[in-house]
Amino acid sequence: MSEPIIRIQDLKKIYRTGDVDVAALRGVSLEVAKGDFVSIVGPSGSGKSTLFHILGGLAAPTSGSIHIDGDDLMALSDSGRTNLRRRKVGFVFQKYNLLPTLTAMGNIEMARYFSENAGPLDQSFRDLLTRLGIQDRLDHKPRAMSGGEQQRVAIARALVNQPAILLADEPTGNLDTENSEKVLGVLRDLNERLGQTILMITHNPEAAAYGHRTVHMRDGRIVRES
């Protein structure tokens, strides 16, 4: 059996607030196979956002072990985690985070600019833009696009550098039902057709059902999987 693309063992994260230690993660263990689509659900304060930030190299754990596509995050410096993000992780956020002064293509190319593999966009990525349904919106700025279109641009931006893992944090949180279904359908298509590994944080059970399995968190722990 191949090595999991994500392997977490007894992961803990403690934040200090004044003189008080707050445990955000209390011994989380999880394995994710390449090509899996995992939904992470839980109430506010359950630790899912902290786990998301650690998986993306945005924060360091206090203890435990975490390997991302063969890299040991505990052994990496801040700059090492930055390089890992650039090489192996794509992010999709609830608020899109598109630069308002750039067109859709400008936002995508900005992400490409910071990649070690920067170069001309190949036909496979052009095909992805068509699959996302934004091929005719690339010269539009965010204010001229719907929320669903902006989120699909954000997905394209996250995938332009061909990351091993796509992390999506409440990707439908700002969308209506119709656009939510479009975005979730795109994520499922990326997973099924291209084998993209996806971890998605969501509070919505209907959204979570798009994944292969759902990890339920509470009080900094994984309490069950379904």
Ordered DSSP codes for 98-131: --TTS-HHHHHHHHHHTSTT-----HHHHHHHHH
Residue 2 in domain: no
Q: How far is CA 74 from CA 12, 54, 71, 160, 220, in A?
A: 12, 10, 9, 27, 19
Q: What is the pLDDT of residue 115?
A: 66
Model pTM?
A: 0.89
Q: What is the pLDDT of residue 217?
A: 96
Residue 209: name the closest of 54, 39, 34 by CA: 39
Residue 9 in domain: no
Q: What is the pLDDT of residue 63?
A: 94
Are 108 and 160 contacting, i.e. CB atoms less than 8 angstroms apart?
yes
How many other CB atoms sit within 10 Å of the CB of residue 212?
15
Model pLDDT for residues 98-120, shown as the tens digit of each residue = 999 999 999 998 888 766 655 56
Residue 120 in domain: yes
Number of domains comprising the chain: 1
Residue 7 in domain: no
Q: What is the CATH number of the domain that holds 131?
A: 3.40.50.300
Enumerate residue ranges in the chain where pLDDT < 50: 1
Ordered DSSP codes for 130-171: HHHT-TT-TTS-GGGS-HHHHHHHHHHHHHTT--SEEEEEST
> How many CA atoms within 13 Å lie on the side-chain side of 138?
14
Q: What is the pLDDT of residue 117?
A: 56
Residue 164 in domain: yes
Residue 119 in domain: yes
CA torsion angle 9 194 203 174 (round to 10): 140
Residue 159 in domain: yes
Residue 13 in domain: no
The domain containing residue 169 runs over which residues? 34-60+79-225
Residue 131: name the closest of 191, 186, 63 by CA: 186
Residue 210: name the closest of 168, 158, 152 by CA: 168
- What whole-number distance in Å separates Cα of residue 5 and Cα of residue 60? 18
- Taking each helix axis as running N to C, give the angle between helix 177-194 and helix 147-159, from 0 to 180 degrees, rounded to the nearest 10: 20
